Structure formats: C-alpha cells, structure tokens
Amino acid sequence: MIRRQRRILVNRIILGLSGAAATLGLVMLTWILGDVALRGLQAVNWTFFTELPTPPGMEGGGLANAIVGTLLMTVAATCMSVPFGVLAGTWLSEFGRDSKLGGVIRYFSDIMVSAPSIVIGVFVYVVMVRPMGHFSGWAGAVSLAIIMLPVVSRTTEEMLKLVPHELREAALALGAPYWKIMPQVIYKAAAAGMATGIMLAVARVAGETAPLLFTAMNSPYWMESMNEPMANLTVALFNYAMSPYDDWQTKAWGAAFLITMAVLFATILTRLILHKRSSH
C-alpha cells in the first residue's frame, strides 16, 4: 500500500510541475502581450499612421513611411516567392514523392526554414546591395522572399499530398493532361491549405528584422521607388528602441504593437481555417 501511495504522490507532483510549466507559458504570453498592448496603444494615434518621422529628439510625427514600406516589401516578397515555392512544391508532391532527389531537396528546404535569417541578409548584401552600390527596397524584398520560399514550398507539398489520389486518376481517365489537371483540379482542391501556407510564410517574415538591417536599411523619407533605402517597421522599431528619446521609445512600442497584432491575427486566422478543414 505504501508503494502505491508513493506512486500516486509522485504522479501528483509531476502533474503539478507540468501544469505549472504550462501556466508559466500562459502568464508570459499575457505579460508580454499586455505590455505591448498597454504601451503600444499610447503611441498609436492618427498621426502615427499618417505622418513622417520627426528629426531625432523632436516630439510628434509618425511612422507612415515605415508602415507603407513594410507592406510594399512583404507584398513584393510574396509575389516573388509564391510562384517559385508553389511550383517547387508541386514537383516535390507530384513527381518527386519517393525519389532520392526529392528527399535531398526536402532535407535542404527544411534546414533553410530554420536557417539564421541574418545570414540571408549577409548573402543579399553581398550579391545585391554591394554590386548596386546602395541599399534598396528590392534587396529587402529579395531577402524576405528567400526566407519565405522554403516555407511556401514545403506547405504546398504537404497540402497537395492531402488531395486524394482518386481525384487525379479520375481526371486522367477523362483524358486530361497533367498540366491541365494541376491548376484546374488539384490546386483548386488544395486552395485553402495552400493559402494557409502562404499566410504562415507572410506572418513569418512580417516580423523579420535581421535580414532587413543591411538590405533595405531604413529611411526617414517617403520612398519614390523600391530602388532606394526603404523605411520599414521592424528596423524603425530597432532604431527607435535603442535611441535615448522617450518619444521614440514610445513609438517603438507602437510599432511593436502593430507588428504583433498583424502576426497574431494571421496566425489565428490560419489556425481557424485549418481547424475548419479538419472538422469537415
């Protein structure tokens, strides 16, 4: 009986510890989000969205150019990485499923998903920024696209694999060629899942700072084209948070608030879509 009591006691202790660990996670989430929301909301007002940054030390102004810059670069990166990633994912799922080459490509893309993003920034600096002679929005967009690419291709592959084989066979039996089946049948069947993957990739790069530090850099002005240093929220956040001015630090919290909300919104949305799909 004593032995049994001891087993139950040990069980309770472990249960308690692991519950405490999970509670700690929940507490941290509320703490961080609470701080970001409380301090961020103080900075977010009309001028924050509509005006340019002020010179160092001057109060007022906003981060309108950085908001637009982040949006532009994210859209450009999405336009570059999505076709590339979807086609690569198509090969992995449809033609290279059990091949050795497929295994190798899968292995390297999985590594690239978690590769340090600052190294991607160094790479783009070496191949784009230095030959061109200046920092540019395009260089920033390219480094974001490189980070998105493996995420898009791997999720595309997974989603295409979920489409039942019978669907392909039925279409083939009708005499349709494969290159017509893919867009008209398979992509359609996997559309929601593929969109989720793309959104996950966007959420991933929307908060990226490291690869932008020496590709897009930052700028206090409105951009005239993507071919010049470009303001963006994350690098502005970094510079402002490290600055000695209270007003700038408040603005950094505002930027953190915007980015966090956008990323969390995208994450929750993807979860809802996936959940709805799996409950069908």
Partner 1 sequence: MKTAHNKKWGDVIFRGITLAFALGILALFAAIVGNLWHESLPSIHKFGFSFLTSDAWNPVKDDFGAYIAIVGTLVSTLLAMLIAVPISIGVALFLAELAPEWMKAPFGTAIELLAAIPSIVYGMWRLFVLAPLMSDHVQPWLAEHFGFLPFFTGPAMGIGMLTAGLVLALMILPFIASVTRDVFLMVPQNLKEAAYGMGCTTWEVVRDIMIPYGKKGIAGAVFLGMGRALGETMAITFVIGNAYHLSWSLFAPGTSIASALANEFTEADSDIYLSSLVELGLVLFLITFIVLGIAQLWLKRGNQGGGR
Smallest distance from partner 1 to CB 253, Å: 8
CB of 50 or CB of 191, closer to partner 1: 191
Q: List C-alpha distances in Å: 91 to 22, 180, 187, 199.
A: 40, 15, 13, 21
Give yes or no for a contact between 228 and 134, defined as CB atoms under 8 angstroms apart.
yes
CB of 12 or CB of 50, closer to partner 1: 12
CB of 6 or CB of 191, closer to partner 1: 6
- Compute the half-sphere exposure of residue 54: CA atoms within 13 Å on the CB side of its CA: 13
Characterise 60 by phi-psi region: left (phi > 0), alpha (psi -120 to 50), beta (else). Answer: left
Smallest distance from partner 1 to CB 48, Å: 17
Q: List C-alpha distances in Å: 243 to 30, 63, 186, 220.
A: 27, 15, 51, 15
Smallest distance from partner 1 to CB 85, Å: 8
Smallest distance from partner 1 to CB 14, Å: 4
- Which of the 8 DSSP states describes residue 92? I
CB of 65 or CB of 117, closer to partner 1: 117
Smallest distance from partner 1 to CB 246, Å: 11
- Which of the 8 DSSP states describes residue 279? T
CB of 35 or CB of 59, closer to partner 1: 35
Smallest distance from partner 1 to CB 57, Å: 19
CB of 65 or CB of 234, closer to partner 1: 234
Tell me the three-class secondary structure of 51-69, residue by residue: CCECCCCCCCECCHHHHHH
Which residue in 143, 148, 153 sits closest to 119, CA to CA?
143
